[in-house]
Chain A
């Protein structure tokens, strides 16, 4: 391999190109200016998206990563630039999203001197990164970036931060790039143990009321086909976590719906009747389990998981099958008998009927004058033939959209799950659109979260990203208000918002849009949004005090799921 003499900052860009990076999200500033200067010469090789805030850059990188499966890349300067990334990095950490964040740092002789825009970003980001590293000499750059991509994208993915001092960016090195393929202290995934698979298969074959719970591990592992094959051979009903959503089509006959706090009635209620639970690529988050001591008391637990630290963390596994879900599901399918569980599935159908009558029908086809979030989602999903990418923010609209959007394709649902980051939706939708330019991206956002990162409308306009933004406006921080109503005696403490005219704001940014206040205009309004060439903001004024049900109240067991207040 021939080497060539380049500057550290050129080495950063060349290394990214070696990793196949086509899009970078970022914001320049003093300590990262040499890298931006090097980037100037490569504008034909890589697209840089200048966001309006570093938080926008990191959420956009997350959106990109979630729809492509590749690491999202972002740049920020030292000090405030770097600290503004932290929320997004924490979000990516808890949702296993691969990111490579590159931050500038003050020159190495100034480290620890409280220099201008110096912050200890390596220290600050340590609890929320899978790995981080500070580069102080130019020679370290190629190897550190190669390791960053390897660590971010393998095993259970996660965010990595590389902090580069300004003198390392200015210095020179002989550039030679080698992709990282192993690290002695890091085993991304364990080989699947065939004995554990056999043990699991025997339990599954004996089960009378088995239930599959699938999470994002299926999507990250590209194991959608393997999951489908496993479900179809065993005839076992399967329910999804918020991040497992879209892994298998919503209308698959064995897909019985969403788990957890605002999940479907059947999968919550019947979890506690199941005799075997097969958890695939999920981590028994408290929003899924409710009260752990009252969770699945009758079930043997089979846990298919890539991260050994997740085994027995919350729920003790009867059999743990470590490794990549694509491999373990395939082996498990080969080992189980063909089966069907018609009576058991009938129970889920009955629950569906109850939920449909009490909740779903009223949400989707309301008769009251006020518009519901559910009907907006239903129409938007139907009109895009359930093939759009859905990006949501956090709150009531997120739960409603997840419950009702219905998917045909995997990697089509982008949301902030574990961290519940308001302000995630709008920037994440930019990343999703850049990752999948050929697909329709619909961002559904509440009026609260929208105002947390609203300035990214500028980025959307500047880059002509044709994102379709639906703001569901109830002039409330809706989910907090719902809790205040149910658990705090309707004491609506600081949840009512006086909102600006969102359409005027969008137009100020050069984005077209309009506001819908009546049901008669809803269908046409959504159609107009979808037909529009380019980004569009549709504001829908919805019923002020609607609630999301079913609900597993905090501290209750999943079988105590309630259908109405």
Chain B
């Protein structure tokens, strides 16, 4: 059964690695729903958060192929339930429509969104949440015509009490030292 999985990849910061990782998906014709890359809490270690729709079996194979890449430290996969995750969305609406009635204000208040910038021409609204939530706000705001809309890729954090990467790096260092 196909479902959403969140793949987390920890890697060295090497040029080209993003391509190496995406090739693993492309070759198996699995579409990436969203992808976010940034430096992790550990300097020099980068973290990829990749969302795909696939079967569990497919996901396991993809993760082992990603982990096989030389510059990848570790890759994990999780279901949505196993992680806390968020996406951020920005909406640009005409400031005029904000003045004309108070509906937009209510939408912003009730939707837990906030206003980032107001100019004569436009107002930028921000909302953080799951895709369904940011999409719902889009649908509401679009009644007044959204001029521009952008949603980020997903970021996610595990429900585990321990930071698994630092544990992993400690183990890896000990293992590599034991080989000497």
Query: CB within 8 Å of B: which residues of A?
Result: 122-123, 126-127, 130-132, 134, 151, 181-187, 307-309, 311-313
Contact = CB atoms under 8 A, between A and B. Distances in A.
Given A134-B15, A134-B16, A185-B71, 13 more contacts: A126-B20, A126-B23, A130-B70, A131-B70, A182-B176, A184-B73, A184-B172, A184-B176, A186-B70, A186-B71, A187-B172, A308-B68, A309-B64
B148 to A, nearest CB: 30
23 contacts: A122-B16, A126-B16, A126-B19, A126-B20, A127-B23, A130-B70, A182-B179, A184-B12, A184-B73, A185-B12, A185-B72, A186-B70, A186-B71, A187-B175, A187-B176, A308-B64, A309-B64, A309-B65, A309-B67, A309-B68, A311-B64, A313-B61, A313-B64
A134 B17 CA distance: 12
Nearest to B16: A122
A138 to B, nearest CB: 18
Interface in B123-175: 172-173, 175
B49 interface: no
B11 interface: yes
A127 B176 CA distance: 27
Interface of B: 11-12, 15-16, 19-20, 23, 27, 60-61, 64-65, 67-68, 70-73, 172-173, 175-176, 179-180
Nearest to B61: A313
B98 to A, nearest CB: 44
A181 B71 CA distance: 15
A239 B79 CA distance: 41
Q: Which 9 A-B pairs have the closest CB atoms?
A: A309-B64, A131-B70, A309-B68, A185-B73, A186-B70, A182-B176, A127-B23, A185-B71, A185-B12
A178 to B, nearest CB: 14
Contacts of B179: 182
Most B CB contacts (10 A, CB to CB) among A123, A134, A185, A307 go to A185
A187 B175 CA distance: 9
A307 B68 contact: yes
Nearest to B73: A185
Nearest to A147: B70
A308 B175 CA distance: 17
Contacts, number: 50
A132 B65 CA distance: 16
A307 B19 CA distance: 22
Contacts of B176: 182, 184, 187
Contacts of B16: 122-123, 126, 132, 134
A308 B27 contact: no
A126 B14 CA distance: 13
Nearest to A160: B70
Best-buried of B12, B23, B67, B68 by chain A (most CB within 10 Å): B68
Nearest to A183: B70
B19 A123 contact: yes
Contacts of A309: 61, 64-65, 67-68
B36 to A, nearest CB: 20
A183 to B, nearest CB: 7
Nearest to B177: A182
A312 B61 CA distance: 8
Query: Most chain-B Cβ atoms within 10 A of its Cβ — which of A151, A184, A311, A313?
Result: A184
Nearest to B23: A127
Contacts of B180: 181
Contacts of A313: 61, 64
A127 B25 CA distance: 11
A272 to B, nearest CB: 23
A127 B12 contact: no
Contacts of B65: 309
A263 B11 CA distance: 42
B150 to A, nearest CB: 27
Contacts of B173: 184
A184 B70 CA distance: 9
A182 B172 CA distance: 11
A19 to B, nearest CB: 18
Nearest to A189: B179
A148 B37 CA distance: 26
Nearest to A182: B176
Given A185-B71, A185-B73, A187-B175, A127 B64 contact: no
B20 to A, nearest CB: 6
Which interface residue of B16, B65, B180 has the most chain A CB atoms within 10 A? B16
Contacts of A134: 15-16
A338 B68 CA distance: 37
Given A308-B64, A309-B64, A185 B70 contact: yes
A312 B20 CA distance: 22
Nearest to A151: B70
Contacts of A132: 16
A134 B65 CA distance: 23
A308 B27 CA distance: 19
Contacts of A307: 68
A349 to B, nearest CB: 39
Contacts of A311: 64
A127 B68 CA distance: 12
Nearest to A316: B57
A108 B64 CA distance: 34
Contacts of B68: 307-309
A131 B69 CA distance: 8
Contacts of B12: 184-185
Nearest to A311: B64
A472 B72 CA distance: 46
Contact of A308 (B19, B23, B67): B67
A25 to B, nearest CB: 24
Contacts of A123: 16, 19
